[in-house]
Amino acid sequence: MKLKNLRKKIRRLEARLQEGPRKLAKLKRKLEAAMAADAAKARRKLVVRARQPAKPSTPAQEKRTRSKAKPAVKSAGAKEPGAARKVKRKLNLSPERRAQLSAAMKARWTAKRAVPEASPPSRTAKGDFTLGQTPQAQ
C-alpha cells in the first residue's frame, strides 16, 4: 500500500472515531429531550382531565356544560426543545365560499347526530366463549 493512501486511511479513521462520541452525545440529548417532552405531555393531559367535569347524564345537561378546554399556561422559561407547533395555514376563501362550506359542514354534523348510535353486535354461539373454554352446542 502506498504511503499516501495509508495516511488518508488513518486520517479518515481518526475523524470517524472522533465523530462517534459526538454522535452518541447528540443522540443521548435527543432521547432526554424526547422523554422530557413525553413527561410534560402526560402532565398536561392529567391537568386537563382533572379540570373536566363529570359527564352529564342527559343531552340537555351536556349542552349546558360543554365548554372549550383551555390549554395549560406555560412560563416564559419552560420552552421545550423540538416542540414547535405547525402553523395552520389560513385558507383564501371568499365570504360566499366560507358560508357555503359552513352550511355543508353543519348539514353533515346534523345528519351524523340524527343517526342513532350503532348497537354492539349481538353475541353468537361462536363468539360466546373466552380463551380456554370450548363452545357449548345448543
Range of the domain at 15: 1-52
Asked whether residue 133 is domain-assigned, the answer is: no
Asked whether residue 125 is domain-assigned, the answer is: no
Mean predicted lDDT score pLDDT of the chain: 76
∠ CA 75-78-82, nearest 5°, is: 135
The torsion angles phi and psi of 86, rounded to 5 degrees, stand at -75, 130
Percent of the chain with pLDDT over 90: 21
Asked whether residue 10 is domain-assigned, the answer is: yes
Asked whether residue 34 is domain-assigned, the answer is: yes
What confidence score (pLDDT) does residue 102 get?
Answer: 94
Interval 67-86 mean pLDDT: 58
Asked whether residue 115 is domain-assigned, the answer is: no
> In sequence order, which residues have a C-beta less than 8 Å from that of residue 47 and are 6 or more positions away?
72
Domains held by the chain: number: 1
Asked whether residue 70 is domain-assigned, the answer is: no
What confidence score (pLDDT) does residue 39 get?
Answer: 92
